[in-house]
Amino acid sequence: MKKNYLSPEGYQKLKDELKDLTSRGRREVAEKIEEARSHGDLSENAEYDAAKEEQGHLEKRIAELENTLANSRVLDEKNMDDSKVYVLSTVTVLNHKTKKEMSYTLVSKDEADFSQGKISVDSPIGSSLMGKEVGEVVEVDVPAGKLELEIKNIER
């Protein structure tokens, strides 16, 4: 089983979501199912079918969160080496094609949010940067073609 590395904030966010889904989420779905049952014949009750489908999606998400949390390791940034790119590194790269610098923080897939500059270590860019040092140039295959990214800085 692959370990999932999370920041303390990311771990807490997933834990809070799980708590919300197991309490409020399950209660709300149970109420919807009960309401739909009160309408009579379940064989032709679209509301009941929709509520049961919602329950299935909810239970799937709960199982995913439980699995993720069970296989997660919370990283302490203070004890991490910043000479190479690892999970939770903030990396500044120069795109050789556009001559623009960009900064990304490498996180687990559960914490990835491109709008906040957080990319997954499993993404093409993230995986190509892992373990590299300042000054190295990596080639990355992305849907738009090949990128050449030069690592300019690594921070925690």
For the chain, the structural domain boundaries read 4-74, 77-155
pLDDT tens digits, the chain, 156 residues: what are they? 567 788 888 889 999 999 999 999 999 999 998 988 887 777 777 888 889 999 999 999 999 999 989 888 887 766 666 788 888 889 999 998 899 999 999 988 888 888 998 999 889 998 899 889 898 999 998 888 888 999 999 987
Tell me what pLDDT residue 79 has: 66
Class of domain 4-74: mainly alpha
Tell me what pLDDT residue 151 has: 92
Tell me what pLDDT residue 2 has: 67
Q: How many CB atoms lie within 10 A of CB 94?
A: 17
For residue 11, give the nearest of 81, 82, 87, 80 by alpha carbon: 87
Contacts of 89 (CB under 8 A, 6+ apart): 80, 82, 105, 106, 129, 154, 155, 156
> What's the pTM value of the predicted model, to 2 decimals?
0.67
Tell me what pLDDT residue 45 has: 78
Q: What is the distance, to the nearest Å, from the Cα of residue 120 to the centroid of all Cα atoms in its chain? A: 7
Residue 23 is given by DSSP the state: I
Contacts of 22 (CB under 8 A, 6+ apart): 62
Angle (CA) 62-29-58 rounded to 5° is 20
Tell me what pLDDT residue 84 has: 86
Tell me what pLDDT residue 40 has: 75
Radius of gyration for the alpha carbons in the chain, expressed in angstroms and rounded:
21
Q: For strands 145-155 and 90-95, give the pairing.
A: antiparallel
Q: Is the domain 77-155 a CATH 3.40.50.1370 member?
A: no
Tell me what pLDDT residue 144 has: 81
